[in-house]
Amino acid sequence: MKKGIIPAVTGLVAGVLASTVFFASTDVGPRSDANTSSTTKTNAEKVYVPFGEQDEYYLFASGGHSGQMFIYGVPSMRHIRTVPVFSQDSATGWGWSKESLELLGDYTWGDLHHPAFSETNGDYDGKWMFATDVANSRAAVMDLKTFTVKDIIEVPNTSGPHCAMFVTENTEYMFLPTRFSVPLGSAYASLDEYSSKYYGVMSAVQFDEEKEKLSIAWQVALPPWSYDLSDAGKGPSHGWAVVTTYNTEEATTNLEINASQADRDFIVLFNWKELEKMVAEGQYEEVNGQKIIFPSKHKGGIYLVPVAKSPHGVDVTPDGTRFIASGKLAPALTVFSFEKAFKAIENQEFSGEKYGIPILNYESVMEREVNPENALGPLHTQFDDKGMAYTTMFISSEIVKWDPNTGETLDRVPVQYSPGHSVAAEGDTVSPDGKYIVALNKIAKDSYLSVGPSHPESMQLIDLSGPKMEVIQSAPVNPEPHYAQMIKADKIKTIEVYDKDPNNPYAVYSQDQTRIERKGNEVHVYGIAMRSKFIFDAKAKRPDVIEVNEGDKVFVHLTNIDFDEDITHGFAINQYNLNIEVQPGQTSTVEFTANKAGTYPLYCTNFCSALHQEMSGYLLVKPK
Ligand code: CUK
Ligand code: CUA
């Protein structure tokens, strides 16, 4: 690869992908010996997890526009589970049960980009996982005791919360910058009024662990730009956070050209403790039920740091002293110093302002620019246990290891191909583990058996324990790996069965409590599922039959009374387009209108015993 490619690439963003494929199909650069036969055996041993033993890490990978979260084991790279988050999933009844429908609303899909673990003292605590939905502007929280989603909220005034900013050190906040700027409340406004009526609203989301509820604490009406990646400060930078921007040109059409004009965009550097204080002091306006800080009127706490054009990732070093921006359209990585930034703020070393937000002098905050030779398209940076940085290079398709203290390139490894993010073991905590990094590749190109014109994406596991980085495993993955987080397996404490819930009015835990109650044209079934039968009304002639009238509204409340780990039952009614799941001890409700008269078998969808096939009954719908 020649450095001369840079202007061509920067000049035509559409060329990025084309260039990538070109590179991928030509034997260029350092990519050549990742999987030579001499290393194959050793690599196989390194990733082999024998039956009966378990992986050392969980990898939580975002499912992009599948809307879901994919869970893998590392180092085996085996896919363990898909947890439905923003999209329907018939395998688990997500999007059919009443509980999940209440969280999903009318949406049937989402675009999950950034997962983020809850943290205590800057370390993953293994309790919760947060995620955002770019497509339908939502945020979600998953309980890691059960790997199920507990809450989903819509985030008003914003459009496309791309990056769940890796939560603050003690999960005080999850910040949601927005990819698209829109008028507040998504009201109508001509694009000719973009600069005056549109905002890129950033939301400060909080989580109440007791109530298991997310809420929006306050928002900031940032200028009408696009906000991309972000990271929270730690240690000496606790209370601060950084967000990258692009389209500070405020283009409203042809973004691929028009949003790449200016040589510099900005990093938004803000002090959330100060913003929190401003809100407490009433320095905000209430719009659409939200407390919004308008930087043009409410002064303080927010600064702009100039950065090479259209940056993508920004990552805070584990020791919290620096933040590193990646160029996307520039080959440069820029290392900024928090200490220098704090001094520059104190001395008011400003070069101007935009929308009332002071712009810090680039030179006052920048520590060094890093340009690893021939490396193109830096996107995201992770860290190891020695504070060394690993940056994915989208265009030159590699991971480059470098020293943030000196800027020196230490090592590089080709990946196949075009990595977006990578994720290191506990990589964005205050104490990364080293050991492993996984490249999340956008393109796999002939790495796996062909499945037609669209090839699978891939993840590659890289061993960091030797003197050189080494790719030791590749795994095809579902679309689309954006970002992932990797946590030590022993930090996650799952439960074996759901406890009985005496406060759940829909739960029944014994056969004699089962019943079918009618209220007008509403029919409530309080039933149980157990190996290997349904009992909807133990006193009835046929306890496994539900009989209703055409047009009735039917609620089936189903409790799984098998308090045995892994005995999950399903409940589907043929031709009624519904299916739910009840895990051991769990109660779930499915609601439907019996709008089709006739006879419909119902059955357990989840294989639960040798007599699983017998676990069936009938829904009889009497015609009007
Ligand atoms: S983004 Cu996909 S490569 Cu959504 Cu984190 Cu950078
Ligand atoms: Cu219950 Cu199959």
Picking from 263, 243, 428, the residue whose alpha carbon sits closest to that of residue 336 is: 243
Strands 553-560 and 522-530: parallel
Average pLDDT, the chain: 92
Is residue 504 situated within a structural domain?
no
Distances (CA, A) of 546 to 311, 346, 537, 600, 618: 59, 72, 9, 10, 6
What's the number of domains the chain is made of? 2
Measured from the Cα of 608, ligand 2's closest atom is 2
Chain segment 516-548, per-residue pLDDT in tens: 999 999 999 999 999 999 999 999 999 999 999
Q: Are residues 478 and 538 in the same domain?
A: no
- Distance, in Å, from the CA atom of 300 to the CA atom of 298, rounded to the nearest integer, reads 7
Is residue 318 situated within a structural domain?
yes
Chain segment 377-390, per-residue pLDDT in tens: 999 999 999 999 99
Sign for the CA dihedral angle at 319, 322, 328, 332 comes to negative
Does ligand 2 have an atom closer than 6 angstroms to the CB of 561? no
Measured from the Cα of 440, ligand 1's closest atom is 3
Q: Are residues 471 and 534 in the same domain?
A: no
Task: Please give the distance of CA 448 from its chain centroid, rounded to a whole number.
Answer: 26
Chain segment 419-469, per-residue pLDDT in tens: 999 999 999 999 999 999 999 999 988 889 999 999 989 999 999 998 999
Amino acid sitting at position 90: S
Is residue 502 situated within a structural domain?
no
Sign for the CA dihedral angle at 120, 126, 128, 131 comes to positive
**Has residue 8 got a pLDDT over 80?**
no
Strands 213-222 and 290-293: parallel
Nearest CA to ligand 1 atom 2: 482
Count H helices and E strands in the chain, helices first: 9, 44
Is residue 609 situated within a structural domain?
yes
**Has residue 10 got a pLDDT over 80?**
no
Picking from 120, 281, 247, 117, the residue whose alpha carbon sits closest to that of residue 177 is: 247
Residue range(s) defining the domain that contains residue 393: 5-491
> With bands split at pLDDT 50, 70 and 90, how would you rate the model's confidence at 376?
very high
Q: What is the pTM of this model?
A: 0.92
- Distance, in Å, from the CA atom of 327 to the CA atom of 308, rounded to the nearest integer, reads 6
**Has residue 33 got a pLDDT over 60?**
no
Q: Are residues 389 and 457 in the same domain?
A: yes
Q: Are 404 and 413 in contact (CB under 8 A)?
A: no
Ligand with the closest atom to the CA of 481 = 1
- Distance, in Å, from the CA atom of 237 to the CA atom of 320, rounded to the nearest integer, reads 6
CA 171 – ligand 1 centroid, Å: 22
The predicted model gives 549-554 an average pLDDT of 98
Q: Are residues 18 and 105 in the same domain?
A: yes
Q: Are residues 450 and 528 in the same domain?
A: no
Picking from 149, 131, 140, 127, the residue whose alpha carbon sits closest to that of residue 492 is: 127
The predicted model gives 242-267 an average pLDDT of 88
Q: Are residues 134 and 67 in the same domain?
A: yes
Does ligand 1 have an atom closer than 6 angstroms to the CB of 442? no
**Has residue 22 got a pLDDT over 50?**
no
Q: Are 216 and 155 in contact (CB under 8 A)?
A: yes
- Which helix (H) or strand (E) segment holds residue 279: the answer is helix 272-280
Q: What local confidence, expressed as pLDDT, does residue 23 receive? A: 39
Q: Are residues 210 and 238 in the same domain?
A: yes
**Has residue 25 got a pLDDT over 60?**
no
Which ipTM score applies to this complex? Answer: 0.94
Compute how many other C-beta atoms are within 10 angstroms of the C-beta atom of residue 18: 11
* Residue where one domain finishes, among candidates 458, 491, 524: 491
Q: What local confidence, expressed as pLDDT, does residue 256 receive? A: 83
- Distance, in Å, from the CA atom of 262 to the CA atom of 249, rounded to the nearest integer, reads 7
Cβ within 8 Å of residue 555, ≥6 positions away: 98, 522, 523, 524, 525, 589, 590, 591
Q: What local confidence, expressed as pLDDT, does residue 165 receive? A: 64
Q: Are residues 430 and 529 in the same domain?
A: no
**Burial environment of residue 465 by CB neighbours within 10 A (0 to 12, 13 to 18, 19 or more):** exposed
Is residue 497 situated within a structural domain?
no
Nearest CA to ligand 1 atom 4: 113
The phi-psi region of residue 214 (left if phi > 0; otherwise alpha if psi is between -120 and 50; otherwise beta) is beta
Percent of the chain at pLDDT exceeding 90: 84
Sign for the CA dihedral angle at 181, 187, 193, 196 comes to negative
Q: What local confidence, expressed as pLDDT, does residue 257 receive? A: 83
Does ligand 2 have an atom closer than 6 angstroms to the CB of 314? no
Does ligand 1 have an atom closer than 6 angstroms to the CB of 524? no
Is residue 482 situated within a structural domain?
yes
Q: Are residues 430 and 526 in the same domain?
A: no
Alpha-helical regions (H) of 526-616:
none
- Distance, in Å, from the CA atom of 548 to the CA atom of 518, rounded to the nearest integer, reads 9
CA 571 – ligand 2 centroid, Å: 8
Which residues of 138-279 form beta strands (DSSP E)? 138-143, 148-154, 159-161, 174-176, 178-180, 182-183, 198-208, 213-222, 226-232, 240-246, 264-271
Chain segment 475-511, per-residue pLDDT in tens: 999 888 899 999 999 999 999 999 999 999 999 999 9
Is residue 369 situated within a structural domain?
yes
Does ligand 2 have an atom closer than 6 angstroms to the CB of 615? yes
Does ligand 2 have an atom closer than 6 angstroms to the CB of 491? no
- Distance, in Å, from the CA atom of 484 to the CA atom of 276, rounded to the nearest integer, reads 29
- Distance, in Å, from the CA atom of 444 to the CA atom of 358, rounded to the nearest integer, reads 44
Does ligand 2 have an atom closer than 6 angstroms to the CB of 604? yes
CATH number at residue 612: 2.60.40.420
Does ligand 2 have an atom closer than 6 angstroms to the CB of 528? no
Please, what is the Cα angle at 138 between 136 and 144, to 5 degrees? 130
Q: Are residues 32 and 145 in the same domain?
A: yes
CA 545 – ligand 2 centroid, Å: 16
CATH number at residue 91: 2.130.10.10
CA 618 – ligand 2 centroid, Å: 15
> With bands split at pLDDT 50, 70 and 90, how would you rate the model's confidence at 330?
confident
Chain segment 134-146, per-residue pLDDT in tens: 999 999 999 999 9
- Which helix (H) or strand (E) segment holds residue 256: the answer is helix 255-258
Ligand with the closest atom to the CA of 161 = 1
> With bands split at pLDDT 50, 70 and 90, how would you rate the model's confidence at 38?
low
Q: Are residues 465 and 427 in the same domain?
A: yes
Is residue 506 situated within a structural domain?
no
**Burial environment of residue 50 by CB neighbours within 10 A (0 to 12, 13 to 18, 19 or more):** exposed
Nearest CA to ligand 1 atom 1: 482
* Residue where one domain finishes, among candidates 437, 459, 491: 491
Higher pLDDT, 12 or 59: 59
CA 97 – ligand 2 centroid, Å: 17
Sign for the CA dihedral angle at 457, 461, 462, 464 comes to positive
596-602: long-range pairs with CB below 8 Å, 24+: 596/550, 596/621, 597/550, 597/621, 597/622, 597/623, 597/624, 598/623, 600/573, 600/574, 600/575, 600/576, 601/573, 601/574, 602/534, 602/546, 602/571, 602/572, 602/573, 602/574
Q: Are residues 442 and 556 in the same domain?
A: no
